[in-house]
Chains A and B, each alone.
Chain A
Amino acid sequence: NAGVTQTPKFQVLKTGQSMTLQCAQDMNHNSMYWYRQDPGMGLRLIYYSASEGTTDKGEVPNGYNVSRLNKREFSLRLESAAPSQTSVYFCASSASQRRGPRQETQYFGPGTRLLVL
């Protein structure tokens, strides 16, 4: 049981290049998320998928696209990378994105460190 896995671990891109960050979970979770972590900013939600077949924008979606390929996999694509997208990207999953007074723990992958020159 690997939990949440992310590939690659580290990537260097030139401005304007494109790439896809891969994420997979083996916990049979319905909901998946992409965050970015920047110094002094904490974790900010880029996109999320509450269930298979649905995706929605988070706080900072500009410059990104996502695909919920199946229940296990949720990819993040940068079509034309910019230096402002230099960051550490985390994928997370939870059993479901519960509304109301219920807590649903999110489980995070190890992260992808992206440098855009």
Chain B
Amino acid sequence: DQQVKQNSPSLSVQEGRISILNCDYTNSMFDYFLWYKKYPAEGPTFLISISSIKDKNEDGRFTVFLNKSAKHLSLHIVPSQPGDSAVYFCAAKWSNTGKLIFGQGTTLQVKP
């Protein structure tokens, strides 16, 4: 049973446009949500996070939105750059254990 789902395996956007990556979760016991970025042959690196008590967090070109009623979060990248091409993982943190549950990942391609 996948508790954190990224239903789009891939996304392609033009440079300068907005990239929107989506993530759905099923459990209300998650208290933090994180996005990680992964380049080929490298480990994932932390990108941005949001607490479950917030609905938006912004860091430069990256903004994460949380809709608790829909159990949905999204990552917006504006403007998208070719260097943003990578796999993006959504992760949710269990409140009672601190462990992370990851989604399947979405491969973003930003075309010049």
A complexed with B: yes
Tell yes or no: A90 within 8 A of B by CB: yes
Question: How far is the CB of B83 from the nearest CB of chain A, in Å?
Answer: 19
Interface size bucket, A side?
Answer: 20 to 34
Q: Cβ of A63 < 8 Å from any Cβ of B?
A: no
In the complex, which residues of chain B have a beta carbon less than 8 angstroms from the beta carbon of A85? none
Q: Which of B32, B46, B51, B97 contacts A97 (CB 8 A)?
A: B97
Query: In the complex, A51→B100 CA distance in Å?
Result: 16
CB neighbors of A among B24-49 (8 A): 31-32, 34, 36, 41-46, 49
Most buried by B among A44, A92, A97, A109: A97
Chain A CB within 8 A of B67 CB: no
Q: Which residues of A does B touch, CB under 8 Å?
A: 4, 31, 35, 40-45, 48, 50, 58, 90, 92, 96-111
